[in-house]
Amino acid sequence: MSGAVGFVFLSAVLGARVTAESGEDLGRLTDLAVTPGERFPLVTHLLITRRGRTRSLPWEAVTLFRREIILARGVSGLREAPSGTEELLLRRDLLDKQIVDVDGARVVRVNDLKLGHTPGALVLRAADVGLRGMLRRLGFLKPVERIAAWVGKTVPGAEIGWEFVQPLEGRLHRLALTLTRDRLLDMHPADLAEIIAQLPHRNIPAVIGALDPETAGEAIGELEPEVGGMVLSQLKAEHASDILEEMEPDEAADLLAEVDETRANHLLTLMDAEEAEKVRELLEHEEDTAGGLMNNEFLALTQDMTADQALRQVRATAGDMESIAYSYVLDSEGRPLGVLSLRELLLSGPETPVTALMSENLKSVDVEAEPEDIYEIIVKYRLAAVPVLDAEGRMDGIVTADDVMQHFLPFTLRLKQYRASRRF
């Protein structure tokens, strides 16, 4: 196509007159249809409206595409515009909609769209989510730029390259590039959680659906339980149960405690029986107690094990556990006899009995202990986790330092601390 410029904004060409090379007025541009490309979405045809009738013109028939005028070879390529909802249209489906900026970990509104020319094609390059895009749409950009220049300022812009965009609306999922989904999967759970917390309820399944159950579980686990429970309520039961299975039992229990009892029981029946039983045990305890905070998955050893046997046990069971800082030696009734670290196991001889390695000076809390008491023990003795014992002295689980921190700190403050640490 001749006369192509480097880029043009959608708002600048919407309403532009489309003319055949013969001079015949074909109408005005009302939208652009796109399809996924190798890197950027490709414009496939123009929607042109004249006297209330909308027709479709293939991109191959366009010979000039500028803000002032759009030229086409003729009317032979014009067809009736498709009426199906599967058609992907930039104005209808993306302009003024919310998207996820996976680079900035935020949900933003699309104020304008930046189109760029490549050889033989017009592609969607970026979403304008800033003030410039809004002013351009309203027709106020030039006057505001002049005023800003007069006082020595500039109008800030904010464009997000399409490779960093995750559309939220259902029909736009085909435009979500593999690169974008990979970026979502690579994001820290705290960043994903912030995105999810910003989403309108109707858009939550779209973003969660782009994640595998394990990643979704990690992200939802970073949310406040009441928010996480709301997220679960937006998902189909089968999908929600798959995610719950991938979560730590204590986090899954926290979420289900915020869900309607009937739905919670239904989700538990859909889960793997063993995982569901772990969660049910935790749901029996009050929320603000050691039993409510604990995780009932921990490294348990028997008193007759050697260091080599213990290491084999750790390798076989530790993969999905939240904390493997300590291994606990239990008697035949499940009562703790002592504790040893992974470091002690690794540095000892293979035939050394675990009873010779363990420390019998074990600090623990009762299942009904309050969070303040747990915090005091963890801080005083600098522990990564503390065992939780039932009324008979049997070990029910562990409360980690992270569990206690999440209890006392709101999500927003945890997020700030995480981001501050990420700078160093």
Alpha-helix residue ranges (DSSP H) falling in 25-89: none
My answer on whether 163 and 203 are in the same domain is no
- CATH number of the domain where residue 280 is located: 1.25.60.10
CA 317 to chain centre: 28
Q: Residue 132 — pLDDT band, cuts 50, 70, 90?
A: confident
Does residue 66 form part of some domain?
A: yes
Q: Would you state the pLDDT for residue 178?
A: 41
What is the distance between the alpha carbons of residues 272 and 269, in angstroms, rounded to a whole number? 8
Q: Give the mean pLDDT of the chain.
A: 82
Q: What is the pLDDT of residues 348-389, one digit of tens each?
A: 999 999 999 999 999 999 999 999 999 999 999 999 999 999
Q: Where are the beta strands (DSSP E) in 73-218?
A: 79-80, 98-101, 106-109, 112-118, 121-128, 159-161, 165-167
Q: Would you state the pLDDT for residue 420?
A: 43
Does residue 265 form part of some domain?
A: yes
In the chain, how many domains are there? Answer: 4
What is the distance between the alpha carbons of residues 136 and 201, in angstroms, rounded to a whole number? 30
For the range 160-164, what are the long-range contacts, defined as Cβ-Cβ under 8 Å and sequence gap of 24 or more?
Answer: 160/99, 160/101, 160/103, 160/104, 160/108, 160/126, 160/127, 160/129, 161/125, 161/126, 162/40, 162/41, 162/124, 162/125, 162/126, 162/127, 163/39, 164/101, 164/102, 164/103, 164/104
My answer on whether 53 and 27 are in the same domain is yes
My answer on whether 266 and 209 are in the same domain is yes
Q: Residue 39 — pLDDT band, cuts 50, 70, 90?
A: confident
Q: Which of 65-69, 93-97, 166-170, 200-204 has the least mean pLDDT?
A: 166-170
For residue 149, give the amino acid letter: A
Kindly tell me if the per-residue pLDDT of 168 is higher than 60: no
What is the distance between the alpha carbons of residues 249 and 321, in angstroms, rounded to a whole number? 10
Q: What is the pLDDT of residues 179-196, one digit of tens each?
A: 355 666 677 787 778 777
Does residue 424 form part of some domain?
A: no
- CATH number of the domain where residue 53 is located: 2.30.30.240
Q: Residue 102 — pLDDT band, cuts 50, 70, 90?
A: low
Q: What is the DSSP letter of 392?
A: T
What is the distance between the alpha carbons of residues 38 and 59, in angstroms, rounded to a whole number? 17
**Under 8 Å between Cβ of 67 and 149:** no
**Under 8 Å between Cβ of 9 and 117:** no
Does residue 155 form part of some domain?
A: yes
What is the distance between the alpha carbons of residues 145 and 195, in angstroms, rounded to a whole number? 32
Q: Which residue has the higher pLDDT, 38 or 311?
A: 311
My answer on whether 217 and 148 are in the same domain is no
Does residue 250 form part of some domain?
A: yes
Q: What is the pLDDT of residues 253-286, one digit of tens each?
A: 988 988 888 999 999 999 999 899 989 988 888 8
- Beta partners for residue 306, in sequence order: 353
Q: List Cβ neighbours of 348 (8 Å cut-off, separation of 6 or more).
A: 307, 357
**Under 8 Å between Cβ of 376 and 299:** no
Q: Would you state the pLDDT for residue 234?
A: 85
My answer on whether 65 and 117 are in the same domain is no
Among 25-39, 105-119, 124-138, 233-247, the range of highest mean pLDDT:
233-247
Query: By three-state DSSP, how is residue 56 classified?
Result: strand
My answer on whether 87 and 103 are in the same domain is no
My answer on whether 71 and 129 are in the same domain is no
Q: Would you state the pLDDT for residue 189?
A: 81
My answer on whether 233 and 271 are in the same domain is yes
> Final residue of a domain: which of 284, 317, 343?
284
**Under 8 Å between Cβ of 298 and 397:** yes
Q: Which residue has the higher pLDDT, 15 or 130?
A: 15
**Mean pLDDT calculated for residue range 216-222:** 87
Query: By three-state DSSP, how is residue 376 classified?
Result: helix
Give the sign of the dihedral formed by CA 267, CA 269, CA 275, CA 280. positive
Q: Which residue has the higher pLDDT, 47 or 190?
A: 47
The H or E element containing residue 399 is strand 395-400
Q: What is the pLDDT of residues 297-349, one digit of tens each?
A: 899 999 999 999 999 999 888 877 878 889 999 999 999 999 999 899 999 99
- CATH number of the domain where residue 367 is located: 3.10.580.10
My answer on whether 23 and 38 are in the same domain is yes
My answer on whether 259 and 308 are in the same domain is no
Query: By three-state DSSP, how is residue 233 classified?
Result: helix
- Beta partners for residue 397, in sequence order: 388
- Beta partners for residue 55, in sequence order: 48, 80
My answer on whether 108 and 36 are in the same domain is no
Does residue 306 form part of some domain?
A: yes
Does residue 291 form part of some domain?
A: no
The H or E element containing residue 396 is strand 395-400
- The residue written with tokens 């609306």 in the block is 169
The whole domain housing 360 covers 299-407
Q: Which residue has the higher pLDDT, 87 or 118?
A: 118
My answer on whether 277 and 227 are in the same domain is yes
Does residue 172 form part of some domain?
A: no
